[in-house]
Structure 1
């Protein structure tokens, strides 16, 4: 069963229930980091790639692999890294591949009622900027948007990295929080093209960007290095519940 731990943001004091991610070992067993309950999370102000990975040992086969460190985006704009029970080289407690179904989530893990009929989202680990765009495209497809494709050309000046018939998205893979200019530009493109505009960011959002997105109704998601987007604002939660037009 996927472990859920309370995580309190040190900036706004808001408490979140965080579900610890699990990753598939090559042997098929799920591998999950152990978090320190009651510990104080660290706010990530500037992402350092070397510090964003964690070595975990599979309890089933003993193999050591590097996996993304657990991270959580708070609606206040802070990107949080929950504390680990052990600093590195953790051993996963999962020893049987059959104990967790495909997708790495427990069968009785809570899920929004509106998405119960969807299969579990299958993320891809993010190691490059292209991986971030791929993860966002897979997520939009999972939400129900069809034929979502990357925009040809690296770092388009328009700020639009993905397009589909009914959606366009910007993906910020940098290590600095996304600012309000990117939010406004993306919203304008969505308005002009009568498409749903969605923003994904690897390092979270500035307070100004959060406020601007709130006033515009633009869905904001953060991307963790496991490749699983997390909704940041009400518009993102609404999109997650309603899904795309498919």
Structure 2
């Protein structure tokens, strides 16, 4: 059941009711951060990538992953970060209530690329839960849904890329780099080639996610280089627009 807590704005002192959203774990169970009822909401004065994420562990399988940090906006214009409980707080609380917090002793193993090993992956499409998208209203929403989609595909350790792309926002995981382009113009040939060169230096695969699509020469070069291209619709659902992306989207249940 979704957890709801009162959140008081530190600026105007209005009180809001906040319900933590749940996101799907790789095992299919819904995962939501544990909210701290006794904590104090803090206003967001400037954005730092590391502060926009919080580590949450799945109660079903014990996996830990980075999820969007809970936030709520006040009508006075202040955006607040909702306090969450850290891992030790959750463990102590579970011990006090007698809940079992022991992780699954047999989580999906990973191969050297950071994706789930083939032998441990489900062998039927029905075993993979559907992807739950995040409605895109801002550039951060586009990054969030891309990070969730990469994790859903089987990539682990999704984070901000070390190298900043010429346009958009770079993400990286074990064995892959991805570019999220929230621009209002289609991604260009140069954008695609720069991503490919970055992936080459990292000895990794690469994927491109765009809100407004791609130019014809960008799509042609991506096909030549084997780069999967996705378009993010406003519902937050990544849709493949070339053959490499279609092949990847059709095999995410088997995470090679």
Provide TM-score, normalisation by structure 1. 0.50
Provide TM-score, normalisation by structure 2. 0.48
Instruction: Write 1 or 2 for the structure with the bigger share of helix.
Output: 2
Whose radius of gyration is greater, 1 or 2?
2
